[in-house]
Amino acid sequence: MTSKQRAYLKSLANNLEPLFMVGKSSITPEFNEAVSEAFNTHELIKLSVLKNCPDDPKELGITIAERTKSELVMVIGKKFVLYKPFKDNPVIVLPKAGKNE
């Protein structure tokens, strides 16, 4: 993903409310399943890490992205955003990658 595409997704994510919150039990198989299922109806998902979660938000974002086959767009404080386009008819159209990126 290019920086231009990432910036575009960040701008879309600004208005999103967190769909999931990671708590003290961190990432469970059920949590991974719920996030995977959310990608059936959402291409862009914001998640929030609660204060009682001992794990680093960036590490959580990377782990969940790997497990859900999505892409980590950004991590800001205790929130992070994941992107996974729909296989058929994606709603979010990313800007084309330039030659210099």
Q: What is the pLDDT of residues 68-99, one digit of tens each?
A: 999 999 999 999 999 999 988 888 988 887 65
Give the 3-state DSSP-derived string for the chain, with helices as H, strands as E and coil as C: CCHHHHHHHHHHHCCCCCCEEECCCCCCHHHHHHHHHHCCCCCEEEEEECCCCCCCHHHHHHHHHHHHCCEEEEEECCEEEEECCCCCCCCCCCCCCCCCC
pTM of the predicted protein model = 0.90
**pLDDT greater than 60 at residue 100:** no
What are the chain's domains?
3-83 (3.30.110.60)
**pLDDT digits 0-9 by tens, 11-45:** 999 999 999 999 888 888 999 999 999 999 999 99
Conformational region of residue 77, where left means phi above 0, alpha means psi within -120 to 50, and beta covers everything else: left
